[in-house]
Amino acid sequence: MIPFKDMNWRLLLHSPHDRPAGDLALPYGTFHPFFGARFSTCSAPTAVEQDRRRHAAWNMAVDEALLNAMEAGKCLPTLRLYAWLHPALSLGRFQPVIHTELPSPAPPPNSTPDARHLTSNTQHPTPNTHRGAFPLEACRRIRLPVVRRPTGGRAVLHHLELTYSVVLPHDGEGIAESYRTLSEGLRRGLQRLGIGCALGQASAKEAQRHASCFAAATRSDLIAAPTPSPTMPHAPRPTLNAQRPTAQRSNDPTPSTLKLVGSAQCRRGGVLLQHGAIPLAWDRRLYREIFCCEPDAGGAGCLEDYLGRMPAWEEVAEAVAEGFRDLWGPEQERGGLTDGETEATGRLHREKYATEEWTCVVQRH
């Protein structure tokens, strides 16, 4: 069983407004050799970490470095909360990619530009083809950084969000049960913001049909529920071919099944890494550029939909941290990465996550 109360754990917190020093690989202003996007390689903190903004490859390297440290018995169970230096897209570890352009769909009718966007005059192919394969051309055209995660699942557009990761021993606990256990901490955190959540009910087979993680909510994910609830409910099983409702504001009693938290997991020995995205708001124009639909039409919700405002990253980070404190008790440590974790992160960044070989070749194991 994953431990609950009185567990020794650490919290890593990095505000998205801070730019820590400590570049280990490429300085800001250099270009990724494959995607051409500018990025910075900054050091990151640990424990229940609110990790400050990092570029895509660095963020994934930190998460795996923490997994390795946990497996080696060199760190406490850790909750890390972080943000992204630039908009980026992450692929699931086993998600196939398409290297050639597909036919472009018609633009959405009466679409209006969003204030938060990357500019582009091109349309991109719908990703819901080729059994969930993602067309990389959609990101290349607007120079959007792409990274492949160490965990499974489908593509996630990271931008205006809080991202969490948890590393801890699982002691043989089943995958479904561990998702449910950790989702309880997330649910309690969102409940503090006045947002009710339930576990999704889509099958893994259904989720694999889509290129976007937020197009389907499985039991590893949280969807919006009508009201905050004291226990973790399961969402009603959706009717076949039923149209997904659009988001409702928090004062509207109509239920919604929009996905609010997308999570993925990997395991190594007796240790697990689970991480996921909690969108604060969607850059709607950028979302259309990548996934060829409006977020809510594609099943993607965000906290702004239910609060009527985009919450501050720090507000959501503190709520999520409190949700896990409810489960585990107070954290024993709060700070940054150790020297060993920072060194391991830099190595994983250079040799794995910033390489074309890792990003563009589907991982088989």
> 0.75 cut: is pTM over it?
yes
Tell me the per-residue pLDDT of 121-176, one tens digit each, with 9 for 90 and over. Answer: 333 334 444 567 888 888 988 999 999 999 999 999 999 999 999 999 987 889 99
What pLDDT does residue 275 have? 97
Q: Provide, rounded to the nearest whole percent, the portion of the chain with pLDDT above 70.
A: 70
Q: Which of 115-119, 264-268, 287-291 has the lowest mean pLDDT?
A: 115-119
pLDDT at 294 over 60: yes
Provide CB contacts within 8 A for 343, sequence distance 6+.
none
Lookup: tokens for 42: 């900054």
pLDDT at 37 over 70: no
Mean pLDDT for the stretch of residues 179-199: 95
Q: Measured at the alpha carbon of residue 298, what is the angle toward residues 105 and 284, in degrees to the nearest 5?
A: 80
H-state helical runs in the chain: 56-71, 137-140, 175-192, 204-208, 284-291, 303-307, 313-328, 339-348, 356-360
| Structure-model confidence comparison of residues 325 and 36, the more confident one | 325
Q: Choose from 46-50, 80-84, 290-294 the range with maximum mean pLDDT.
A: 80-84
Amino acid identity of residue 65, one-letter, is A
CA 149 vs. chain centroid, Å, equals 10
Domains defined for the chain, CATH in brackets: 10-102+118-235+254-358 (3.30.930.10)
Expressed in angstroms, the distance from the first to the final Cα of the chain is: 25
